[in-house]
Amino acid sequence: MPRHEGQAKTAPAKARAALAEAMDLRRLGPEHSDLVADLERLCFPTPWNAEQLRQGMEQGSIRVYGVLAAGKLLGYLSYYAVGDEAEVVNFAVGSVWRRQGKGRALLGHVLQKWREEGIRVGFLEVRASNEAAIHLYTSCGFRQMGVRRGYYPETGEDALLLKLTLADLPGPVERTERRYP
């Protein structure tokens, strides 16, 4: 095999590693709505569009935190908060970045923000077939409290309704305002 062919196969891995070095977590604003909408289109069959996201962020009705590196959005989590409750709207990590701890770091960051905001209870729906997401959520303290039959209109798939009571967590949520490798 010629040398350049082997190098081509490792180049994407090296590029991802270099990008991960510069990664940070932060609250996203309306100026990020195009990036979030792009990731929405890649991850969801019925995505929000950039205008919907921009309006929600401008009005403060939706809060969005993201994992960014070199101007790229690797993942994000959006939620509504009313009183002492929050509901995750969407949580996505680009396929290249999954199973590398990016989603866990982002979720930990958001849970810390919830505590700072006085959120006591969080909710979310997850596809019953999404085993990786279910494992992540339950490992972070979410517990199943119900099933929404036929919740996803494009497939008719059920959603599991999960709940997190922040006071039930074993200790403080790890502060995640540092950069993540």
Catalytic residue among 76, 79, 137, 180: 137
Q: Is 125 a catalytic residue?
A: yes
Q: Is 65 a catalytic residue?
A: no
Instruction: Kindly report the number of other CB atoms within 10 A of residue 14's CB atom.
Output: 10
Rounded-to-integer distance, Cα 1 and Cα 124, Å: 49
Sheet architecture: strand order including 157-165: 24-28, 63-69, 72-82, 85-93, 121-127, 157-165, 143-152
Catalytic residue among 76, 79, 125, 180: 125
Rounded-to-integer distance, Cα 175 and Cα 66, Å: 15
Residue with tokens 């997850």: 126
Contacts of 127 (CB under 8 A, 6+ apart): 133, 152, 157, 158, 159, 160
Q: Give catalytic residues, as residue numbers.
A: 125, 137
